[in-house]
Amino acid sequence: MTDADDLGFSFRTMKAGDVSILRAGRVVTILRGAAAADFLAEVHGVAPGAAQQLMARATGNYKRGNERTAARHSRNGGGTR
């Protein structure tokens, strides 16, 4: 895994089946029930970079790569910033 692939996420599975997703050692979100089961099924066997992306999506902390372009859009100030 390259540094670009590492977004700083990790996860822990709890006894009750819940999944805690952490970033830089701090709990960001906890998945429970079906969401936890779905996450574990998706993350099982994927590459580390893909697992980082799954955790980012699960937390809502997911950069799409269009932030700079969006800032220049007319409805967002049109680049006057």
Indicate whether 40 belongs to any domain.
yes
Indicate whether 76 belongs to any domain.
no
Tokens of 15: 């006894």
User: 79 — phi, psi (to 5°)?
Assistant: 85, 15
What's the pLDDT score for residue 26?
92
Q: Please give the DSSP secondary-structure letter assigned to residue 80.
A: -
What's the pLDDT score for residue 50?
92
CA-CA distance, 62 to 52, in Å (whole number)?
10
Q: Domain range for residue 28? A: 1-61
Amino acid at 2: T
What's the pLDDT score for residue 60?
82
User: 7 — phi, psi (to 5°)?
Assistant: -100, 0
Give the helix, strand, coil percentages of the chain, each rounded to 5.
40, 20, 40
Indicate whether 70 belongs to any domain.
no
What's the pLDDT score for residue 31?
96
Indicate whether 72 belongs to any domain.
no
Give the total number of structural domains in the chain. Answer: 1
What's the pLDDT score for residue 24?
87
Q: Please give the DSSP secondary-structure letter assigned to residue 43.
A: H
Tokens of 65: 């790569």
The parts of the chain modelled with pLDDT lower than 70 are 1-4, 61-72, 76, 78-81
What's the pLDDT score for residue 62?
61
